[in-house]
Each structure stands twice: as structure tokens, then as C-alpha cells.
Amino acid sequence: MTRLPLQQTRYQRLQQALIATLFAGWGGSWRVRSLQLLALLGGYYLGSNLTVVVLHRIPGGRPSVVLLMVLVVELLVRLRSRLVRGRPPLGWVLVDNLRLGAVYSVVLEAFKLGT
């Protein structure tokens, strides 16, 4: 007994587009996926170490370091949106993953500190 093909509804097209969008960055070879994951984890590691070092070494310097980090992140986002059209090359994806990991670690540290 053969099954009839499902009708393409708007919901099914939306669902397929959403899945394709969510998993588009994780496509490719194992080398690309592992580099992306390493960049994400490396950004988290750098961001968490940055906050710990700033908290222990510079007692009142946390606002200035956070401001500097926000400026660097904003500069990276604006630079990428100006230079890259369409699908970004691997270098920009790695820089984005480093940025995302660092921002996540700083936000997580802020929640742990209650600020």
C-alpha cells in the first residue's frame, strides 16, 4: 500500500523554512561543525575568564570593561553587516560564534552575581 504525498500547506512550508533556518549554520562537513562549536566554547571560555580577572584585579573597573566589550561586540556586528552580503564565509561564522560565546558567559556571570 503506497502512501499519498502530503499536501504542502502554509504551516508545513513555515515549519520547513524554520527548520532550515535553525540548522543552516550547522551544515557542512565535520570540520566546519567542529570549528564552529570550538569557537563558541572558546568565546565562552574567554568571556568567563575576562569577567573573573576583572572582578579580582580591578575592583572598580568592571563597568569600563563591560562598556569596552559592548563596543567591540557592536563594532563586530556592524562591520559584518557592512562587509558580508548573503551567506558569510567560515571566518565570519567563527568570529560570530566567539562573540556569542563571550556575550553568553558575561550575561551568565551577571545573573550569578545578581547585577
The total number of structural domains that make up the chain: 1
Residues 100, 103, 107, 108: what is their CA dihedral angle, to the nearest 10 degrees?
60
pLDDT surpassing 80 at residue 4:
no
pTM exceeds 0.85 for this model: no
- Residue 60 in any domain: the answer is yes
Terminal-residue alpha carbon distance, the chain: 62
Range of the domain at 45: 28-113
Q: What is the pLDDT of residues 81-99, one digit of tens each?
A: 888 888 888 898 899 899 9
- Residue 4 in any domain: the answer is no
- Residue 88 in any domain: the answer is yes
Pair 39, 101: CB distance under 8 Å? yes
Q: What is the pLDDT of residues 14-56, one digit of tens each?
A: 988 888 877 776 677 889 889 999 999 999 999 888 777 777 7
Best CA proximity match to 84, nearest among 74, 75, 93, 72: 93
- Residue 101 in any domain: the answer is yes
- Residue 7 in any domain: the answer is no
Distance between CA atoms of residues 15 and 63, nearest Å:
42
- Residue 21 in any domain: the answer is no
- Residue 98 in any domain: the answer is yes
Sign of CA dihedral 114, 78, 65, 38: positive
